[in-house]
Structure 1
Amino acid sequence: MPADIQSIERNPKFRELVEARKLLGGSLTLLIIIIYFGFILLIAFDPKLLGTPISGVITLGIPVGLFVIVAAFVLTGIYVLRANATYDVLTKEIIEESK
């Protein structure tokens, strides 16, 4: 079994897969952290801005908060689409080559 693991780890496609996943995952994680903490910092340092009415009782904070939630779903969707289109193909190729 360890010989199989070592042969997989030496495979250039495996290294490509690891690097691609690390880059995309890190980038998307950093982006959602910036969005989320930007929202939190906006609440902390300029709450009046988010309390600005835009239509009746709806304030600016509601669409901004919804943006944070939707952004998390969209970024997750981007990762899933990329994983299904690219990472799964590479994983299957690596498995086939290791047999």
Structure 2
Amino acid sequence: MSDPMVERIQRNPKYQQLKRTRSRYGWTLAILMLVVYYGYIGLIAFDKEFLAKPMGAGVTTIGIPIGMAVIVFSIVITGLYVRRANGEFDRLTREIIEEATK
């Protein structure tokens, strides 16, 4: 019980390109996020003294802005993915559907 529409979509070279590009982009961003997150966790585990150093004359330590940078980084890469998904990926999806319904 194979749907002919699904088969047409899967044979479309644009669909193969979309699948490949989206997967590669997603994995790249995921790996970047893992490196940043586990890098921060590694600093916490292995170099507490560095993160505990105060910044200037205040009570804020170096670990606070680094931790905030991890959060901001995750927001930025999410925004990058959403921007590309709403642009390039959605455009390709529309083209694939249009070609499959002809």
* Gaps in structure 2 of 5+ consecutive residues: none
Tell me the distance in 1 between the aligned counterparts of 2:63 and 2:8: 53
SS at structure 2 position matched to 1:88: helix
Q: Percent identity?
A: 46
What TM-score comes out, normalization by structure 1 length? Answer: 0.97
SS at structure 1 position matched to 2:55: strand
What TM-score comes out, normalization by structure 2 length? Answer: 0.95
Amino acid of the structure 2 residue aligned with 1:66: M
> What displacement does 1:89 show?
0.2
Equivalent residue for 2:22? Answer: 21
Amino acid of the structure 2 residue aligned with 1:59: T
RMSD: 0.8
> What displacement does 1:84 show?
1.2
Match of 1:84 among 83, 86, 96: 86
Pairs aligned (count): 99
* Gaps in structure 1 of 5+ consecutive residues: none
Equivalent residue for 2:66? Answer: 64
